[in-house]
């Protein structure tokens, strides 16, 4: 091996060692699309955001709409109550408005026929807990997530797990709410990065190899770019 090749080898090894040393820190990087991260982090902005939430309420809610199976049968109401109780056990849940909640807490989970007739005759429930067509209902779940970047994702996944028995029982489920958008953005970002980064690395190495026409020169140039990127992350 000539001195030039030895020099390139030493530099490449040094870069690789530095890159491996920093990779552990870069691996801690997480995608975080929380609304708090979209705002300018300053005391004045934080004050305005706190005032907004105090006046208009929190946007930390998930609505679960379900339909497709009988809503007022004894078996259907029992399944809805069990789902409600599973949702109430999730850490961070503040309150839940729902049709089975009225059935359990107001009607004592008795006499489904009487409950159906009373709900159908009460305008207050229609359009809030029950659809105008009386064929769909919903859980409105308000919660306080933790401060960790993945707290909302954990909450959304816990809600999805809690309502799975409803889907198994034949109900068609639809979810909505700001936390779902945050989680979808995070997962989309991770998915896009997983697809694009390997392709970008391979294309970059191919271009460097054509330019330098040397394995070691290509390795050093790629190592410098990787080291700079990893250190920045």
Pick the closest to residue 87 from 186, 38, 159 (CA basis). Answer: 159
Q: How far is CA 3 from each of CA 6, 8, 9, 17, 223, rounded to the nearest angstrom?
A: 5, 9, 10, 21, 20
Statement: residue 11 has pLDDT above 70: yes
pTM of the model: 0.70
pLDDT for the residue numbered 3: 66
For position 158, what pLDDT does the model report?
94
Residue, of 46 and 105, whose pLDDT is higher = 105
pLDDT of residue 55: 82
Q: How much is the pLDDT for 72?
A: 93
> Is the per-residue pLDDT at 206 higher than 80?
yes
Query: Can you tell me the distance from the alpha carbon of 222 to that of 178, in angstroms, rounded to the nearest whole number?
Result: 40
Q: According to the per-residue pLDDT averaged within each range, which of 108-122, 143-157, 180-194 is highest?
A: 108-122
User: What is the tens place of the pLDDT at every residue in 215-226?
Assistant: 878 877 887 887
E strand segments, 99-154? 136-143
Q: Between 154 and 24, where is the model more confident?
A: 154
Within 8 A by CB and 6+ apart from 11, the residues are 220, 223
Task: Work out the mean pLDDT of the chain and round it to a whole number.
Answer: 83
Model pLDDT, residue 230: 76
Per-residue pLDDT at 146 exceeds 80? no
The pLDDT, as a whole number, for residue 84 is 96
pLDDT band per the 50, 70, 90 thresholds, residue 35: low
Angle between helices 178-212 and 215-232 (to 10 degrees): 150
Name every residue whose Cβ is closer than 8 Å to that of residue 203 and which is 6 or more positions away in sequence: none
pLDDT at 69: 92
Across 34-48, 166-180, 206-220, the highest mean pLDDT is recorded for: 166-180
Between 81-90, 129-138, 149-158, 170-179, the lowest mean confidence (pLDDT) is in 149-158
pLDDT of the residue at 82: 95
Confidence of residue 20 (pLDDT cuts 50, 70, 90): confident
pLDDT tens for residues 89-140? 998 899 999 999 999 998 888 888 889 888 888 888 888 889 988 899 999 9
């Amino acid at each position: 091996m000539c001195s030039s090749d030895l020099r390139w080898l030493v530099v490449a090894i040094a870069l690789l060692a530095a890159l491996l040393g920093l990779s552990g820190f870069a691996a801690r990087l997480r995608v975080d699309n929380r609304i708090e991260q979209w705002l300018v982090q300053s005391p004045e902005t934080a004050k305005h955001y706190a005032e907004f939430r105090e006046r208009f309420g929190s946007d930390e809610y998930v609505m679960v709409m379900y339909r497709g199976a009988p809503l007022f049968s004894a078996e259907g109401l029992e399944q809805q109550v069990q789902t409600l109780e599973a949702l109430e056990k999730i850490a961070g849940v503040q309150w839940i408005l729902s049709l089975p909640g009225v059935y359990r807490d107001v009607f004592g989970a008795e006499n489904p026929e009487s409950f159906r007739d009373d709900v159908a005759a009460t305008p207050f429930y229609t359009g809030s807990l029950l659809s105008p067509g009386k064929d769909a209902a919903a859980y409105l779940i308000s919660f306080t997530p933790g401060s960790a970047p993945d707290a909302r994702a954990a909450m959304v996944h816990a809600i999805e797990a809690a309502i799975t028995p409803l889907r198994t029982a034949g109900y068609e489920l639809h979810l909505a709410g700001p936390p779902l958008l945050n989680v979808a953005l995070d997962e989309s970002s991770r998915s896009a990065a997983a697809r694009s980064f390997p392709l970008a690395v391979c294309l970059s190495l191919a271009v460097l190899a054509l330019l330098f026409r040397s394995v070691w020169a290509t390795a050093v140039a790629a190592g410098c770019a990787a080291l700079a990127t990893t250190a920045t992350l």
